[in-house]
Structure formats: C-alpha cells, structure tokens
Amino acid sequence: MDNGKDQITQAFEQLDQALGQLEEVVDAHIENAQSLRDVEEEVQRMVADRGQMAEALDGVEARAQRLEDANREVSRRLVNAMENIRSVIDGAA
C-alpha cells in the first residue's frame, strides 16, 4: 500500500511541478503581451510626433520661402536704387 501512496504522492508532485511551469509560462506570456502593448503605444506616440514635426517643418519651409522671396525683392530694390543714384550722379556730373 505504501507503494500506491508513493505513486500518488509522486503524481501529485509532478502535477504540482507541471502547474508551476504552466503558471510561469502564462506569466511570461502576459508580460510579453504587456510589453507588446507598450511598444505599440510608443509607436503610436512616435507616429503622432512625426506628424506634428512634419507639420512644423512645412511651416518653417514656407516661412523660409517667404523670407527668400522677400530677400530677392529687397535685393532687386537695392539694385534699382543704386542704379537711380548712379544716374542722378552721372547726370549731375
């Protein structure tokens, strides 16, 4: 009879070990799933940030273009003014 009890005890110990291993696997799976959710959330934040940065960059590029256009206009006007001044000086001389 002791042999039967030993076998039952051994079977319970094996079952307990198997349940412990199963619990560890389930815990690891849950942690991995949470890590995956965290990564997905971070990717979503990065995509949103990228969109905001792209929008800001578009604004900066548009402003740079306006400044470049204004610079060209100022340069054109300065050249015209210098030519007018030369013609006045040449006419007075």
Half-sphere exposure of 76 (CA within 13 A, CB side): 6
In sign, the C-alpha dihedral spanning 58, 64, 67, 72 is: negative
Amino acid 45: pLDDT: 97
- Tell me which residues of the chain have a pLDDT lower than 70: 1, 93
What Rg do the C-alpha atoms of the chain give, in angstroms? 40
Amino acid 85: pLDDT: 94
Q: Which two tokens stand for residue 1?
A: 């009879």
Amino acid 23: pLDDT: 97
Amino acid 61: pLDDT: 97
Q: Burial letters for 43-74: b for 16+ Cβ neighbours within 10 Å, e otherwise?
A: eeeeeeeeeeeeeeeeeeeeeeeeeeeeeeee
Amino acid 4: pLDDT: 77
